[in-house]
Structure 1
Amino acid sequence: MHGIIFKSLKDFVVRDHGHETWDAVRRAADLDGRVYLPIDTYDDGELIRLAEAVGDETGTPTPDLLEAFGRVAAGQLLDTYGNVVADDWTTLDVVANAEAGIHTVLRAHNPDLDPPELVCRREQGEEAGTREEGEASEEDEMSEGRVRVVYRSPRRLCFVAKGIVRGVADHYGEEVQVTEPTCMHEGADHCELVVTR
């Protein structure tokens, strides 16, 4: 996993709980003294151990913790990889292009990176549902108010993905609703996130 994720976790913990808690988390995860550089990659298992230790140290349920962390990580990811995000994109544009426009580029530039596999599809918003089949206009593009994301990863970090979506919305000063009708933590083989403007 990319070091920027580990750096984001550290920044999140230090911001909300202080340096002492981060030190205690690393000790509890048997990673005392471990330093994470944003330009390196690290074992996925270390992130899981750290996240579990943060939950134990702070008393925060793991899903809530991971989502809050993802929300913070979004800003750092946008700062680091903003060059693959178009200037005129919105939250839904970033989500819709996460695989084709962002993950694909990251994999091409660094084969060690292994972001989750996403299938992202824009859907018509309710306000566009009255148009007759076959009719199209520029208004259709503007009315697309929902993105459906199928998330597959052995890491099963859909909570982080939801937080990242909310953090992207924070970055753009937008409000979105994120629902998860299908989840690997409930026995499915993938997670499905629906992001609505």
Structure 2
Amino acid sequence: MYGLVNKSIQELITTNFGEEKWDIIKLNSGIEIDYFISTEPYDDSITFKLAQAASEELNVSVDEILFVFGEWWILKTGNEKYGGLMKAGGNNLKEFLINLPLFHDRIMLLYPKLTPPEFEIAEIEENSLVLYYISKRDGLVGFMKGLLSGLGKLFETPVEIDHINSKENGHDNEVFKVSW
């Protein structure tokens, strides 16, 4: 993942719990990087170590940390740093989700070494759709749910996220039914 992801985790922790808590989490993660450079790629294990250390320090599950981070990513990092790209995705939650398969194509222009997930949209109805989350990375279901929740908040649309199929249960991909 790019450094901007790890920097965003740092901002989430310092904003909500203070610099001292971040220092503890970073120390407990075993990561010896002083400063994350937004435009540089880092090994995924760094992000997972930060999430694990935050989980232990804050006494919540890794999935809860990833969920909160997903919301943060949309509402703070994405909206504040990439507002133009976010607005180009659609005027409401449904439009944004339908356009989601094209979103990372635009992001890859900024971050050419990005290994993004893919999305497929199916069963589009008036107030719901099915989203296929196709990723080479495992362990990010909580983050994906947080992203979807954050999009609901961004578009001021209450959202319900049902995880209907998972890799853990033998399916090829993670599948979510998103309703609003």
Q: Same fold (TM over 0.5)?
A: yes
Kept in 1, the 8 Å contact 2:90–2:99? The answer is: no
Between the aligned partners of 2:45 and 2:91, the Cα distance in structure 1 is 33
The runs of at least 4 aligned residues of structure 1 exceeding 4 Å deviation read: none
1:37–1:109 Cα change, 3 Å: closer
Alignment correspondent of 1:150: 132
Task: Tell me whether 1:162 sits opposite 2:164 in the alignment.
Answer: no
Q: Aligned in 2, Cα 1:20/1:47: closer, same or farther, shift over 3 Å?
A: same
Where structure 2 has 5 or more consecutive residues not aligned to the other structure, the ranges are none
1:174-185 aligned within 5 A: 174-185=157-168
Q: TM-score if structure 1 supplies the norm length? A: 0.81
Asked whether the equivalents of residues 89 and 95 of structure 2 are also in contact (C-alpha less than 8 Å), the reply is: no
State the Cα deviation string for residues 150-190 of structure 1 (Å, max 9, x = none).
11223221210110111122122221111111122444331
| Greater Cα shift, 15-24 or 80-89 | 80-89
- State the identity %: 23
Amino acid at match of 2:95: D
Q: How many residues align?
A: 177
- Answering whether residue 17 of structure 2 is matched by residue 23 of structure 1, we say no
Instruction: Point out where structure 1 has 5 or more consecutive residues left out of the alignment.
Output: 125-143
Whether contact under 8 Å (2:118, 2:133) holds in the other structure is yes
State the TM-score, normalized to the length of structure 2: 0.88
Tell whether 2:2 aligns with 1:2: yes
SS in structure 2 of the partner of residue 97 of structure 1: helix
Decide which structure has the larger Cα Rg and report it: 1
The answer as to whether partners of 2:66 and 2:142 remain within 8 angstroms in 1 is yes
Alignment of 1:14-53 (within 5 A): 14-53=14-53
Aligned-residue CA RMSD (Å):
1.9
